[in-house]
Amino acid sequence: MNLSHVFACGHPALDFAATLRARRSTRFEMFVTPERLNAWYVESGLVDAITPGDEEGLQAAKVVREALYRLITDRRLGEEFEREALAVVNGAARGTPVTPQLTVTGRFTEATPEQALATVARQAVELLSGPDVPLMKECGNPECTRVYVDRSRGMRRHWCGMASCGNKYKAAAYRARKKSASAVAGG
C-alpha cells in the first residue's frame, strides 16, 4: 500500500479519521512518524507550513483520531455519542486553532502540530453537529472503512472514491460479466 495521503471523504475531519485504513482487516497506519502526520496537515491544505512534531504529539493525534472515528460511527448509525470519545474530541477542540495570516503575497498559515490538531477537532465538531450528518456514508468496499459525505445526485454514491475503491469493484464486475458471457457462449 502506498504512503500517499488520500482526501476522498469530502471533509477534513473524515479524511483525518480515515488515516487508519482497513480497520476491519489489515489495518494500515498512515501516521507512522510525526513527519507523516505533519505531511497530512500540509497536504490537506489546513496549513502551509508546520513546525516539527514529536512522538508525544503523534500519539495525541492518534488518540483524537480514534475518538473521532468512534463519534463519526456513532453519529452515522444514529447512536448516542460515546462519552469518553466525546471528551477527547472536545478537549482537543478547546486548544488554540490555526490562525491564517495575510502577507504581501496572500494568505499564509503556519502552525504547530497542536494548533493543527485543535483545528481538525473543531472541524469535527462542526461536521458532527451540522447539516451534513445525514449525508455521511461508509464506503461500499467491505475492506475500506472510510466514511465520506455523499453529495451525489440522489445520494447514490457507493464508494469513498472512484480512484481507490470504485474502480476496483467496477473492474471486477466487468471481468465477472465477461467471464460469464464467454461461459454462456462457449457452453
Antiparallel, parallel or unpaired: β 20-21 and 28-29: antiparallel
> With bands split at pLDDT 50, 70 and 90, how would you rate the model's confidence at 2?
very low
Burial of 173 (0-12, 13-18, 19+ CB in 10 A): exposed
* Residue-by-residue DSSP string for 80-103: PPPHHHHHHHHHHHTSPPP--EEE
Separation of first and last alpha carbons in the chain: 39
Q: Whole-model pTM?
A: 0.86
Q: What is the pLDDT of residues 69-112, one digit of tens each?
A: 999 999 999 999 999 999 999 999 999 999 999 999 999 999 99
Quote the pLDDT of residue 1: 40
Quote the pLDDT of residue 129: 96
How many residues are there in the chain?
187
More confident residue, 23 or 56: 56
**Hey, which bits of the chain come out as E strands?**
20-21, 28-29, 49-50, 101-103, 106-108, 110-111, 136-138, 147-149
Is the pLDDT at 120 greater than 50? The verdict is yes
Amino acid at 118: A
CA dihedral 155, 125, 31, 110 (to 10 degrees): 110
Burial of 45 (0-12, 13-18, 19+ CB in 10 A): exposed
Q: What is the pLDDT of residues 3-48, one digit of tens each?
A: 578 898 999 999 999 999 888 888 889 999 999 999 999 999 999 9
Q: How many CA atoms lie within 13 A of 125 on its CB side?
A: 16
More confident residue, 180 or 73: 73
12-186 CATH, one of 1.10.510.10, 1.10.287.3510, 1.10.3720.10, 1.10.3300.10? 1.10.3300.10
Q: In this structure, are residues 134 and 109 in contact, taking their beta carbons and an 8 Å threshold? A: no
